Amino acid sequence: MSGAEVSLRSVSKSFAGRSVLHKIDLDIAAGQFVSIIGPSGAGKSTLLRLVAGLETPSGGRIELRATGHVADVRLMFQEDRLLPWRTVLGNVQLGLKGRDREAFDILRAVGLRGRESEFPIGLSGGRRQRVALARALIHEPDLLLLDEPFGALDAITRAAMQLLLEQLLAARPRTVVLVTHDVEEALLLSDRILLVKDGGIARDLVFDRPRPRHRGDPALATLKEDLLDGLLSAEGNIPAVA
Ligand SMILES: Nc1ncnc2c1ncn2[C@@H]1O[C@H](COP(=O)(O)OP(=O)(O)OP(=O)(O)O)[C@@H](O)[C@H]1O
């Protein structure tokens, strides 16, 4: 299986003396698709940023392992972070002079062939995220870190992006960590779902349902309810039942 292995040993993170994550132990296998869900402010993005190396742990150790080389890690966020003065092709090829063929191939794979010379401002939110995805995938990353990448998209575009991501990963497996507020998204895409709350991993759920998965699958509905219960109790806003 291709992709990086990720291991966290007793990883903690505090900001200005306030603890956000406390002694997290986590092993992610090569090629595994892991989603992180949890209440707002639980530290989901912080965990992702720690794995990305964008934050330094206050304690503990994080290791990324890929076979034969240093793991290539790419990130994608809710905002596309495209350079407005560069074309679609220019954005995808950023820092990759002379890699036209790969750029055209990846743009075809994300459904943007023919739009190479357009600028981000003229594209819909969904297409801009396709460019952002292409820009990440052209590097053939061992580890893809996704922080609410479809969070700002409408429901239909979001469903299309989920399907696209699934197809691209089926063709080229790699390790993925996705932070999402959307429990259904996590259930559709993941091998494993982590519920982060109170500074730790409150649930670690392996979900090996065959793919492609369907929203109407009763197994998904049951787990969705179960996970939503976990989230709601964490938010502390379940109305009292007489
Ligand atoms: N650079 C920072 N400096 C200070 N505090 C921070 C910093 N980054 C995150 N925090 C705090 O750490 C906590 C966790 O933030 P984080 O963004 O990781 O949560 P989250 O679970 O991703 O939340 P959300 O679902 O709302 O995006 C929050 O209280 C946040 O204010």
pLDDT tens per residue across span 37-67: 999 999 999 999 999 999 999 999 999 999 8
Among residues 170, 174, 178, 143, the alpha carbon closest in space to that of 73 is found at 143
- Answer yes or no: is pLDDT of 228 > 50: yes
Which one of 15, 36, 78 would you pick to mutate in the ligand 1 pocket, going by the greatest count of ligand atoms within 8 A of its CB? 15
pLDDT tens figures, 115-133 = 999 999 999 999 999 999 9
Provide the 8-state DSSP code for 239.
Answer: P
pLDDT tens figures, 137-194 = 999 999 999 999 999 999 999 999 999 999 999 999 999 999 999 999 999 999 999 9
209 Cα: distance to centroid of ligand 1 (angstroms): 32
Helix and strand numbers, DSSP H then E, in the chain: 7, 9
Q: Given pLDDT bands bounded at 50, 70 and 90, which one contains residue 234?
A: low
Which one of 13, 35, 36, 46 would you pick to mutate in the ligand 1 pocket, going by the greatest count of ligand atoms within 8 A of its CB? 46
150 Cα: distance to centroid of ligand 1 (angstroms): 19
Q: What is the pLDDT of residue 99?
A: 80
Q: Given pLDDT bands bounded at 50, 70 and 90, which one contains residue 231?
A: confident
Domain ranges in the chain? Answer: 5-72+140-235
Provide ipTM, 2 decimals. Answer: 0.97
Q: Is the CB of 48 under 6 A from ligand 1?
A: no
Query: Whose C-alpha lies nearest to ligand 1, atom 3?
Result: 15
- The label of the residue with tokens 């990130």 reads 75
In angstroms, the CA 137 to CA 73 distance is 10
Decide the pairing of beta strands 200-206 and 192-197: antiparallel
Q: Which CATH architecture has domain 5-72+140-235?
A: 3-Layer(aba) Sandwich (3.40)
Q: Is the CB of 40 under 6 A from ligand 1?
A: yes
* Global pTM exceeds 0.80: yes
pLDDT tens figures, 60-71 = 999 999 988 899
Q: Is the CB of 42 under 6 A from ligand 1?
A: yes
Concatenated DSSP letters of 147-197: ESTTTTS-HHHHHHHHHHHHHHHHHS--EEEEE-S-HHHHHHH-SEEEEEE
Query: Whose C-alpha lies nearest to ligand 1, atom 8?
Result: 46
- Count of alpha carbons within 13 angstroms of residue 221, beta-carbon side: 5
Q: What is the pLDDT of residue 240?
A: 46
104 Cα: distance to centroid of ligand 1 (angstroms): 37
CA 32, chain centre distance (Å): 12
